[in-house]
Each structure stands twice: as C-alpha cells, then as structure tokens.
Structure 1
Amino acid sequence: ILAGYYILGFSIYSSILLAGLFASQTLIAYPIVNKLGIARDKAVTIAVGGTVITDTLALLLLTVIVGMATGNVDDTFWWRLGISVLVCILIIVVLFPIIAHWFFKLCSDNVSQYIFVLAMVFLGAFLAQLAGLEPIIGAFLSGLALNRLIPKTSPLMNRIEFVGNAIFIPFFLIGVGMLIDYRAFFRDWESLEVAAVMIALITVAKFIAAWLTQKSFRLSKDQRTVIFGLSSAHVAATLAAVMVGYNVILGHTPDGEPIRLLSESVLNGTILMILATCIVSTFATQRGAHNIAVKNALQTNDEEKSRPEEHILIPVANEQSVDELVGLSATIKRAKEPNGLYALHAIDNRVDDPNMEKRARKLLDGAAKTAAAGDLYLQQLLRYDVNIANAIVSTVRERNITDIVLGMHQRTPGSTALPAIPGIPGIPGTSGPGIGKMVTDVLSQSNVTTFIYSPAQPLSTIKRHLVIVPPGAEKEAGFQMWLQRIRQLARNTGAKVAFFASDATLQHIRPRRERKAPANIGFVPFDRWDDLPSLEHDLRDDDCLWFVMSRRDRVSYHPAMSRIPGYLEQVFAGYSAVLVYPVQAGATDRYL
C-alpha cells in the first residue's frame, strides 16, 4: 500500500488493490514438487494452505475495493456480500461433494465423469459470480470440494491433469500474452517503472514471508526455498484482479481519456511481473524440491533396496468387477511405478470352445484399457491349464508375483447352503467354501500377499477404510508388506484409514515418529475378535472393511476368521470388503 501510494503516486484505492495483487499467489510450480514426490512435505502443505487463504482474501478485497471506489458501498453492501459469500461457499463445500458422491456411485463411465467434473467447476464459478466474487474463487473451491472423490492414481485424475496441462494452461498463458501492448514500453518509462517496483517488492515480500515461516515452524533452508518458490508466482488471481481494476472507470479527463482504477501501465507491468515471478518461482521450487527429494531418497535408500519390485497379479473372470480390481491394484502400488501389473485369464485346456478365448481377450483388453487410462501399463496373460488355481499359482512362480488381487467368490442363487455356525443362526459356515474352492487352493499353494476384494460401490466413493488386524499379526513374515500396501492406499486415495487392533499390535503399526503419521490415518484399540458383528455399530454407509486374515495354525490365526465370509454375506451385507492374506512363514510347504 505504501509503495503504491508514495512511490508510484496512485490513489489510496488503487494502492490497496495493488497490494491485493502482491498478496495473491498461484501454485504454478506445484507440478514440480508433485513430480519429485514431495507433495506431502510439510513445506508444500503450508504453501498450499496459505494459497487457499491468501487468494480468497485477496479476491474478497478486490470486491470490496471496487465497490468502495465506484460508490456502491452502502449500509446493506456488507450484509449482501457476507450472506451471498457464505451461501456460495456452503453450497460448493457442502453440497457439491454430496452430489458428486451420488453421481460417481451411479455412473462409472469415465467420459461422463469427466464432463460432470467440468460442469461442477463451471457451476462453482457461476455461483461465485452471482455472489459478487470472482469466478476463479468458485472454480478453486469446486476443485477443493471434489478433490477427495478423485484418487490421484485414477483414470479420471489422469484425464483431468492431461487436459489441464495440454489445453487449459497453454491457452491461459496465450491469453495472458495477448493482453500486453508492447508498444507501451517504447512510449514512456512508466510501465517499466511500475513493473520494476512490483517485481522487486513482491520478490522481497514473499521471501520475508517464507523466512518467517521457516523460523516459526523450524523448517530447513530447502523447505524455505520451496515455500518461497511456490508462493512467489503470480498468475491467475493476480490477472483476474488487475483486469477488474483496469475495467473499472472512475471518470474521464478533460481530454476524454478514461480514468481507471488501475491504469494501463499497471496492466502492462503486471504482465511483466507474471513473467518474472513465474521464472523465479520455477527455479526456486526446482532447487529446493530437488534437494529435499535427494535427502529423502538417501534416507529411504536402504528401505527401498530391501523391498522387492512390485508385481501384482489380477486374475479376471467377471467383466463387471474388472475395473474395480484394476483400480484397487493401482491404489495399493507405488504411484511412481507405471509397470508391474499383470491381468490373467485362465481357460480349461480340456474345453475346445473358440468363444471362450474371444471372451478372455475381451476381459483382458478391458483390464488393459482401464489401467492405461490411469497411465499404467498392464500386461495381458492368457493361459490354458487344468484349473484356474493351478494357472494362478504357476503364474505367481513364473512372473515373480508379489501380490494377488482377486474378486470375492459369489455363491450363485440356488446353490447348496453352507452348514450353519453353532450359536449364530442364519449365518453359513465358511471354513473354505465361503471364499470359494479356487481361492482356497490358491492360498494353500502360494505364499504371496493376497487381497480378496468384494466391491459394493466404486473405490473412489469410499470415505473410510476400516482395517481390522488380529492379535499377533506383527509376528507374521509379511506384516510390513501388507501394511505398506494400506499406507499406499491412504496416500493415493486420500480417504481415511482406521486401524483396529490390540495395543501391542498398534505399537508396530504406528510410525516410529508420531509426527510423520499421515493426517488421514487413525488408530483404534480393538480386542473384540470374538464379537466381530459388533463392528456394525462403528460402520457408516461409505465404509470399506479390511480383515487381515491368517491361514490355519499360524501365529495370528483366530477361530473367528472362519466365520468372516459369512458375516460379509449377512451382517456386513452392502459394504465393500477386502480379505488380506499376508505372507506367512511355513504357510505353504508345497510352494516353498
């Protein structure tokens, strides 16, 4: 404000609006930190949160200053602005996620989902404009509201990022470049003077803010550089504000020239400022993020070396469940590895039916397309064998498979009911046949982490994952393997994950450094394995149950595990569920 009023000689309203331009910021360099894998670093989180608050307040300031400069502020202005802004924010933040959740449950077509997301973003921008705000605020809030429903490894997110990076951002930057009148720089020095003052002040101010943040939160120098880099770029909100100020005409000179709230020199200076700050932001973010990524890589180098390369096998047999099985496989794997997925369809070699191979090819092609939409490569495997279990076990050995993602066995109507469990009327016994003979054979002949998935709703609409862990699970050989998969699920989907386990087991599940625990992972003491149906009281409509299982006579085996498939059919009917069978020492003598 002082620089605009005293150095540049602007009016007080123009100076305040200019200060709003200085305050706003654009995360133009965010793809850099995302690509380097430090998007969840504390410095990045602070910068993103600061951008949300700063841009919103800066654009609100724009609305107020324009109203005051044009004389439209009266006693009812503040009430109208406050109520309209509150209603707009409530609709976008509260109602939009509910509508999106309903739509994603109802519609699984990727094109329709993308069109829906665009429609919601444009609707949010329109509502913000009706409320007296800049449309960019509504679009920004819409993105925040829909973000949790779109996993970053999903095909929908891949489409959004591709179209944004390939079309929207280039056209936006082209539009910015076309606004500048380069002849103004040759007519006088005013535009260059304004640009120099703006660039110098903004760079110094953002660096001071980053330095104060570093001292307040005890961050490293590289984290300070990242905060400075992310917050120093000025593009979207700045351009929106300067265009509004430029189009506000306060009067006319005796020569008939319009007197604008922000002059043409400020518009041209802003374009130069955008160019300069984007360059500074990119180089600063790249430098700080690279150093942080290198340090993180050195710290986790030994851990990564000890972890085997991921090879996830997805046996496909049902066209309706292919997309969900591929989706689950994508969310439990490391996001930076596009390879390592295998889809398998087995055909009985005693059957001579060409239609079976055509159907198999169709299933495998569908799985490959789903993976490709998420920027992943899936290798198709068609195998003739004596039975499905033998084909899966043989592929596990040949391809060095680390994980299997299977669909839950569904009993066909009219099939023979399983014997009832004593003391629990109406719930069938499930000591093997409840999960299907094929799955039972696979578990008895292989020793890799196996996920048996029963999707009741799309994975993207799941809000909470409840992981029920048996006592002694930490003593199993594959404990860290499945635990790492659950953590990847939390990172890739953003959904909440709650571990239900005994106090002794929770000590091994919690990170060694409590402050490093992700915000969306919780821990609940649980010792009611003899009364698993009581979990129904803790369930919500959009929960997914994860039961960590064990083969018989192993360290973590509990008699209640034999009844869990029956519970899923009766007590927990309508909920998505995953049975996790970890690697266990001595579990399969034939395999070992």
Structure 2
Amino acid sequence: MSGTPIQSMNAGLPLAGGIPSVPIEEPVIVFAIALATFLVAPLLIERAGLPGIVGIVLVGAVLGPNGTGVLAETDAIVLLGNVGLVYLLFTVGLELDLRGFLAAPENAALFGLTSFFLPFTVGSAAGIYVLGLDPWASFLLAAVFSSHTLLAYPVVNRLDVTKNRAVTAVFGGILFTDTLALVVLAIVLGQADGELTLMLFGQVFASIAILFAGVWFVLPPIARWFFRNTSQESYFEFLLVGAAIFGAASFAEVLGLSDILGAFVAGIALNRLISRGGPLMNRIEFVGNALFVPFFLLYVGMLVDPGVIFDGPRTLLVAAVIIGVMIVTKVGAAGIVSAIQGYDRNEFGVIAGLSVGQAAAALAITLVGFDAGLFGADVLNAVVVMMLVAAVLSPWLTERYGTRLALEDDVEPGDSGTVDPRVLLPLSTDADRQRHLLELAFVLKDERPESPVHLLTVVQPDGSGTDDDAVAEAEAGLEAASEVADAAEVPARTETRVNHSIASGVVRASTETRAELIVMGWDAQQSLSNRVFGSIIDQVLRRTTVPVLVSRLGHPINTTERIFVVAPPGIDHHEGFYEAVHVVKRLAERLGAELHVYVVEGNEKQYERLFGMVEPELEARFESARGWAELESTLRRETDENDLVVPISPRQGSVGWDPMLAQLPRTLAELPPQSFIVVTPRQGEPGYAARFLTIE
C-alpha cells in the first residue's frame, strides 16, 4: 500500500518546524498571508487617499512571482482567483436594478455598444497602422480592452449607488461588451484555424441564446420552489445560490462561452428572489467582500509583472498605445453616452471609472491570442502593464466621483429619510409565521438601516406564580428572532411586556418605542363575527393611529412575483393614503415585483396620477372593478401562489371605509395566493403624508 489517506495528504509538506522556503506553497501559510493582506492592505492604502481594493492588487504584485516571489502562482491561487471573478460577476447581476434595466434596456444597450465599438474601432486602427499588427491580431487586441471588468464594483456597492441610473446602464452594458468580445474571440480563432464560416457565427449566437434561455427559465423556478418548501437554516439557501452560480458558469463553459457570462446571467435570474436587506443577501455580500473578491484582486496583482517595463522600447510603445487608446476611448464613450442621456458630471465620472477596469478576463483573451501565435511577448507584457494602470485608475476614479454622487443622492429633493421607519413587530410562537414576519419587516427597512426593528412579545399573567418562566421563555424566543436580524445586519431591540391585555401591551409598546409602523400576523381566525380580524388586532387598530400592516403570508415574501393592490371607494381622500401608497410601492420596489392596482368603483386614471405623485418612482398597471363581486372574480382568475394581495383598508368609520372591507380578509384567505397584507393607513395626522410626495 502507498500509505494512509492522512499520509498521502501530508506528502510534500514539511513535517518539522522551520521557516518555509520561498516561494511559499504551503496552503495554510498562503491562506494566512492572503487574509492578512485583505485586512491590512486596504487600511494602509486608504491613508494615501486611494481606494482600499488597490492595496490588495499592489500587495499581490509585490508578493507575486514577478515581484519578490514570496507567493507562487499555485493551482489554489488560480482557482480562488477565478472563483472570485465568477462570484464578482454574479453579484453584479444580483445588484443590477432589474426594474430600471427592463424599463429602459436601451440605456444599457446604448452604453454597452458605444463602450465596445468606439474602443474596438480606434483600437483596431491603432493596432494596424501604429503597431503594425496583422488585422486579425489587431481585432483581437482591440476586443481585449473594448470589454471591461468591474474592478471597482466593491466601491459603488460600499457607496450604495448601485441603483443609480448611470451605474445600472454600466452593469447592463456588460452584457453587450463582454458578449461581443467573446464573439470577436471566437471569430478570430476560427479564422486562425481556417474555420471562419457562417456555421461558426450561428454556433456562437446559438450558444448565447441557449445560455440565457436555460438559466433564465430553469433557475428561478427551482430557487422559488426551494425557498417556499425549505425551513432549514439559511446556509442551505446560500448553498443553493452557490450551486446556481457555478452551475451556470459551468453551463456557459460547456457551450463554449465565458464562465463569467454564465455567472452574470445567474445573478440576473435570481435578482428578484433574493430580497435586499435579508439574511441571505447579507451572507452573499459578506462572503464575497471578505473572501472571494479579495482573492480575485490578489490574483490580478500576482499576474502583474513590473519588470516588463524594462523589456525594451517595443513593450513601452505597445503599452503606451494600448493604455492611451483604452483610456481615451472608454472615457470618450462615457462622455458620449452621458451627453445623450443627460447624466451629470459625477455620473459621467463613475461610469468612466467603472468602464476602464481591466483584469484577468483581458489577460485570458490575450493569452489565447498569444498561444494561437497572433500576439508576441511584447503585446502580452503590454497588456499586463495596462492591467496595472487600470487596477489603480478605475477604483480611484470611481471612488472620487462615486462619493460625490452618493452625497447628491443623500440630499435629493423629496428624500426626507422616511424610507427607514421604526417598526414594531409583535411576534407569536409559530416559527414559520415568525420567520415570514421578520422577512417582511426587513424588506420594509432601508438597505442600510439605522433605526431598529422592535421585536415584541406580550406575556399574559396567569396568576399561578409562573410568570417568570413565561417571561424567560418569551425572552428566549425574542433572542432567537434577534439573531436572525443580526444575520441580516438589521438592528433589533427586544421588548417584553407583561399585561393582562395583549392589545394593551402592543399599544403601549408602540407609544414607548415611537413606532412609525406596526407589523402584525393574522392566522385567519376571528373571535367574533362582527370584527374584521379578531379582538386583539381590532383593538390595536382602534387604539393606535400609526399605520398597521396585518399580514397572512403563505409563501416567503422574497418569492413574490406580483403585488395586487386593492383601492376601495374613496380611499384617495383618506389623510394617510399617500403614506400607504408609499409603503406599497416601496414593498414592490424592494421585492422587484410587478405592481397591479385594482380601483373599486373609481377612476383608474385618477389613481394612476395619484400613485405617480408618491415616492419611489415605479411603473404600475391600473384597472377598475365595477364592484366587490367583480374584484373577487378578477383576483380568483388572475392570482397564483406567488402573488401578494394588498388592500388599503382604513379604520372602521373613517374616510374610505366600506362595509365589504370587513369580509375581505376572510375572502383573501381562501384565494389561491393565501398571502395578503392589509395596510391600514395613518389616522389623525393630515400633514404627515406630504413627505412622501414628489417635489416637482
């Protein structure tokens, strides 16, 4: 026998103490150095006024085989670097403002096509007439820097400007730039092999179509089924996402396409199923920002060879031409698009910074051309120099203008900071219902919340002397819920009240916490027939004036595809109407769900105008129903298990109240979605709603 598994694992590793030899290849030591780099390098480089990610790239260049040689380009480093690039492109697709992209895909197409063809045209001419390259080699070299790698994505994500219209155009534009670059690569290689035929063009475009169709139509149904039917810990959900990322990337490779394109498409496919601010999104961002993406940046740095600068004048000439053409044409393309789209100076700076990023993908295309004999060593070394320049320039530009853009967004007219309400969440002991309510509360909060969610349990004394045990049990349940909030990075405070009346405990807690929104769950049980929900919820509604959301969720909130809003007769005259509309629109925006508004016995055009006056801006479809019977028939016909019905229902006796609203929750509990949220608007503060209106 050759030895035990443990002996085989230890083969080639030092069994005695001592200083490891250079280059270091021991996995544990390499990993320790990498983590120390991720921790220290950003902190040091930020003191010099540069973005933190530049520090990781520079340390990689210093420690890599072309620098001091401390670290070797081992298979593990290559693997983790490529994993980081794939993961990065997935998160870009996941963070894409899909609603904005689909509402105006021409914006992404305009940026993508301009950012590709301007550098490609000028770069091809420079390669032929300045560098003296073969036309096909010039085409491939131009394709190298006509695409872009979002090196500076961590910057815009940290600054929270990923939803900006210009940034969305850049994210969507990568579909066009990288796809076209891969098409050029396939065509040039086909010509080099003597196989440039119409069949080759057909194969490339067919592969792209199969990739998009396969991922888009297969992945979301699987993920939605999994989220609906699993109640396991959320790391199972993360494992599903991980399998989806690398499964889609592998599928792209099987089709002869780039793995990063498959990961990007997977991100878009799961975009609407992973809610912002939830534990799953937090885990995805945490793992990427702490581990995978830094490994990609370290790998990019290790690919850089500072010594190529001294290889001779030819390398410097090629590098100068490539860098000059890349920067001028990428910035020029950003300027053209900004002028056409009306982007301001800071938006122009951000998209210019994002689009000049070049990394391992550019080097991969260059290596393919080098292996095929289309490029010489001078071109290969020049591309490495270009990567070093781009690794510094792209994050610096993005940080400089992205910071200004973030400050602009903070003081945007109409933004009064009301998107992060103080939420009071009374919880029950039902684990599944508790989880659904927590997910709903997280969706209603800001992506970077400051005010906490107040988690409440009211204990009723039974007079038997066991109140302490009941309180301890309630606090243990709240602690478990608080851990879920911590995982989602949502601040939470636990509140335990002892009160003979649960409703009184909730009302008192709402006053003490200054709650701006109360979220309650309903089990579809009514204690008295003349009440809407039952004694507890009805008492809370009568004794408070803040908005109350009464929910019955039959599916995880993040799997919602469509939201059907019910506007009863005269609700537009209620003083809390505009705030209620804001809550509904914000819910649809955060979930990426389609918004359908049914106006009962009213003018749908009037409601379309009123909804348009409320932040955030969101497209919606408006229809009228002649009566409640027609509404019920329509909902039965149109809704399915992944939909959510949201009636706006005022308190009994107030403006907009209709007796049929008392029966509506029972009716909705029997509809196919079995998921609804009844929004009861704010009462008694007529001036409060003005803060939710757009300012022209």
TM-score range, shorter chain: 0.7 to 0.9
Q: Which position in structure 2 is the counterpart of 1:557?
A: 657
Moved more, 150-159 or 265-274: 265-274
Letter in 2 for 1:585: G
> What is the distance in 2 between the residues matched to 1:358 and 1:261?
73
Match of 1:13 among 120, 129, 136: 136
Q: Which position in structure 1 is the counterpart of 2:453?
A: 341
1:454 Cα deviation from its structure 2 partner: 0.7
Q: Which position in structure 1 is the counterpart of 2:330?
A: 206
Q: Which position in structure 2 is the counterpart of 1:277?
A: 390
Question: What is the number of equivalent residue pairs in this alignment?
Answer: 554
Moved more, 500-509 or 198-207: 500-509
Distance verdict in 2 for CA 1:234–1:115, change over 3 Å: same
> What is the distance in 2 between the residues matched to 1:499 and 1:287?
42
> What is the distance in 2 between the residues matched to 1:308 and 1:42?
19
Partner-residue secondary structure (3-state), 2:663: helix
> What is the distance in 2 between the residues matched to 1:586 and 1:15?
68
1:126 Cα deviation from its structure 2 partner: 1.2
Distance verdict in 2 for CA 1:525–1:222, change over 3 Å: farther
Deviations 1:55-111 (A, max 9, x none): 111122222222322334456434443433332331112212222222222224311
**TM-score, with structure 2 as normaliser:** 0.75
Q: Is the 8 A contact 1:471 1:505 kept in 2?
A: no
> What is the distance in 2 between the residues matched to 1:394 and 1:132?
63
**Aligned: 1:517 with 2:617:** yes
Q: Which position in structure 2 is the counterpart of 1:580?
A: 679
Q: Is the 8 A contact 1:348 1:385 kept in 2?
A: yes
Q: Which position in structure 2 is the counterpart of 1:395?
A: 509
Q: Which position in structure 2 is the counterpart of 1:569?
A: 669
Distance verdict in 2 for CA 1:541–1:350, change over 3 Å: closer
**Aligned: 1:500 with 2:615:** no
Moved more, 92-101 or 385-394: 92-101
Q: Which position in structure 1 is the counterpart of 2:573?
A: 475
Match of 1:185 among 287, 300, 309: 309
Q: Which position in structure 1 is the counterpart of 2:282?
A: 158
Deviations 1:351-378 (A, max 9, x none): 5335533431332122112211211111
Deviations 1:136-168 (A, max 9, x none): 211121111111211122211111111111111
Q: Is the 8 A contact 2:564 2:644 kept in 1?
A: yes
- Equivalent residues in 2 for 1:214-363 (5 A)? 214-246=338-370, 248-249=371-372, 260-300=373-413, 303-304=415-416, 307=418, 310-317=421-428, 318-351=430-463, 352-353=465-466, 355-363=469-477
Q: Which position in structure 1 is the counterpart of 2:273?
A: 149
Distance verdict in 2 for CA 1:282–1:177, change over 3 Å: closer
> What is the distance in 2 between the residues matched to 1:308 and 1:494?
16
Q: Is the 8 A contact 1:449 1:583 kept in 2?
A: yes
1:469 Cα deviation from its structure 2 partner: 1.7
Match of 1:112 among 236, 239, 257: 236
Q: Which position in structure 2 is the counterpart of 1:386?
A: 500
> What is the distance in 1 between the residues matched to 2:348 and 2:431?
50
Larger proportion of strand: 1
Q: Which position in structure 2 is the counterpart of 1:450?
A: 548
> What is the distance in 2 between the residues matched to 1:480 and 1:37?
26
Partner-residue secondary structure (3-state), 2:411: helix
1:230 Cα deviation from its structure 2 partner: 2.2
Match of 1:168 among 292, 302, 315: 292
> What is the distance in 2 between the residues matched to 1:34 and 1:51?
17
Q: Is the 8 A contact 2:485 2:492 kept in 1?
A: yes
Q: Which position in structure 1 is the counterpart of 2:258?
A: 134
> What is the distance in 1 between the residues matched to 2:125 and 2:677?
61
1:3 Cα deviation from its structure 2 partner: 1.3
Q: Is the 8 A contact 1:176 1:271 kept in 2?
A: no
Instruction: Tell me how large the CA RMSD over aligned residues is.
Output: 2.5
Q: Which position in structure 2 is the counterpart of 1:68?
A: 191
**Aligned: 1:486 with 2:599:** no
1:557 Cα deviation from its structure 2 partner: 0.3
> What is the distance in 1 between the residues matched to 2:163 and 2:184?
30
Partner-residue secondary structure (3-state), 2:343: coil
Match of 1:39 among 162, 165, 176: 162
**Aligned: 1:86 with 2:231:** no
Q: Which position in structure 2 is the counterpart of 1:546?
A: 646
Q: Is the 8 A contact 2:625 2:631 kept in 1?
A: no
Q: Which position in structure 1 is the counterpart of 2:88?
A: none
> What is the distance in 2 between the residues matched to 1:106 and 1:61?
44
Q: Is the 8 A contact 2:353 2:398 kept in 1?
A: yes
Deviations 1:379-431 (A, max 9, x none): 111121112111101101111111111111343xxx98x7xxxxxxxxxxx53
> What is the distance in 1 between the residues matched to 2:581 and 2:364?
46
1:118 Cα deviation from its structure 2 partner: 1.0
Q: Is the 8 A contact 1:467 1:545 kept in 2?
A: yes
1:294 Cα deviation from its structure 2 partner: 3.3
Q: Is the 8 A contact 2:147 2:178 kept in 1?
A: yes
Letter in 2 for 1:102: W
Q: Is the 8 A contact 1:2 1:15 kept in 2?
A: yes
Q: Is the 8 A contact 1:63 1:132 kept in 2?
A: no
**Aligned: 1:528 with 2:627:** yes
Distance verdict in 2 for CA 1:499–1:291, change over 3 Å: farther
Letter in 2 for 1:341: V
Unpaired runs of 5+ residues, structure 2, are: 1-123, 687-696
Distance verdict in 2 for CA 1:268–1:76, change over 3 Å: same
Q: Is the 8 A contact 1:403 1:449 kept in 2?
A: yes
Distance verdict in 2 for CA 1:243–1:527, change over 3 Å: farther
1:544 Cα deviation from its structure 2 partner: 0.4
Letter in 1 for 2:557: L
> What is the distance in 1 between the residues matched to 2:381 and 2:558?
44
Partner-residue secondary structure (3-state), 1:404: strand
Partner-residue secondary structure (3-state), 1:337: coil
**Aligned: 1:440 with 2:538:** yes
> What is the distance in 2 between the residues matched to 1:523 and 1:265?
62
1:509 Cα deviation from its structure 2 partner: 1.4
1:303 Cα deviation from its structure 2 partner: 4.9
Deviations 1:489-546 (A, max 9, x none): 2332222222323433332211379xx8335x44334453454312222213311000
Distance verdict in 2 for CA 1:557–1:220, change over 3 Å: same
Distance verdict in 2 for CA 1:439–1:146, change over 3 Å: same
**TM-score, with structure 1 as normaliser:** 0.87
Letter in 2 for 1:460: N
Q: Is the 8 A contact 2:419 2:445 kept in 1?
A: no
1:321 Cα deviation from its structure 2 partner: 1.3
Q: Which position in structure 2 is the counterpart of 1:51?
A: 174
Letter in 1 for 2:682: V
1:177 Cα deviation from its structure 2 partner: 1.9
Letter in 1 for 2:191: M
